[in-house]
Amino acid sequence: MTELLHLDALSVGWPGQAPVLADISLMLHHGERVALVGPNGAGKSSLFLSIAGVLAPLGGQVRLMGRQMQTGQFLPDVALVFQQAEDQLFCPTLAEDVAFGARNMGLAGAALDLRVAQALAACHLTGLATRPVHQLSGGEKRRACIAGALVMQPALMLLDEPSAGLDLRNRRNLMTLLRQTGQALLIASHDLELVLELCPRVILIDQGRICADGPAREVLGDAGLMAAHGQEVPHSLTPHERAPHMHWPQAGSGS
């Protein structure tokens, strides 16, 4: 597997606030499916915004396929599915919205129409192509955002809570779709069942840093499950001996 994304000592935060994440270093390979888990406010969305070039890093670097990403430079190789669909959808109709990213890449005419039709079909939205986006239901909006990322055929998709608000059938369809895609996926989610089904590798962030990065079943053992759900991890559950690279947040160490 070849290197796709490299975060090098990345610090992430918002103006006027203490850094949300500090000194984040990790690597993702082409085609890899990785989950990013952590409690509310851990910094998953902020990290995605920095990787996608929306939020300027406080320090460190984001490199995609060896090239350093610049804030405000939106590369077709990376597509972000926002946590809040309303932050992403803005065109008059669903089909126009889904076409937006691919059109910006220079696609037009029949080639664009085909891409849009394929993305709509993949997200089971074909019949809604001409619907104004503000008239879509919550779950339809979520799927519209995913279609808008798929249409770009990016090397890396950043999916922020992709299953939130989906009914069981659409959640199942989403898992099938994501499992079949050959693209690298970084998925931020509280849906740990989806995480365990889709992602061989899990990164747990909390208290401003990476607490664990490894095989899903290892990271999401008893201690990891508690940390991912925002609970304090008792010393008795801390598997330091087995996994010395993991740094579980513990009682009394949080803010």
Ligand X SMILES: Nc1ncnc2c1ncn2[C@@H]1O[C@H](COP(=O)(O)OP(=O)(O)OP(=O)(O)O)[C@@H](O)[C@H]1O
- 116 vs 187, which CB is nearer to ligand X? 187
- Which residue lies nearer to ligand X by CB, 101 or 208? 208
Q: Please report, as ranges, the residues that interact with ligand X according to CB under 6 A.
A: 14, 17, 20, 38, 40-46, 83
C-beta of 58: minimal distance to ligand X in Å?
A: 12
Residue 215, CA distances (Å) to 18, 127, 128, 139, 201 in order:
31, 39, 39, 30, 5
Give min distance, CB of 80 to ligand X, in A.
Answer: 13
Nearer of residues 97 and 206 to ligand X, judged by Cβ: 206
Please give the angle made by the CA atoms of 196, 142 and 109, to the nearest 5 degrees. 115
Q: Which is nearer to ligand X, 20 or 62 (CB)?
A: 20
DSSP labels for 211-245?
A: EEEEEHHHHTSHHHHHHHTTPPBPGGG--TTT-TT
Sequence-ordered alpha helix ranges (H) in the chain: 44-51, 94-104, 109-122, 138-150, 168-180, 192-198, 216-219, 222-228
Shortest spacing between CB 16 and ligand X, in angstroms? 8
Question: Shortest distance, CB of residue 203 to ligand X, whole angstroms?
Answer: 12
CA separation for the pair 11, 3 (Å, rounded):
21
Least separation in angstroms between CB 99 and ligand X: 27
Q: Which is nearer to ligand X, 117 or 164 (CB)?
A: 164
User: What is the DSSP code (8-state) at residue 61?
Assistant: E
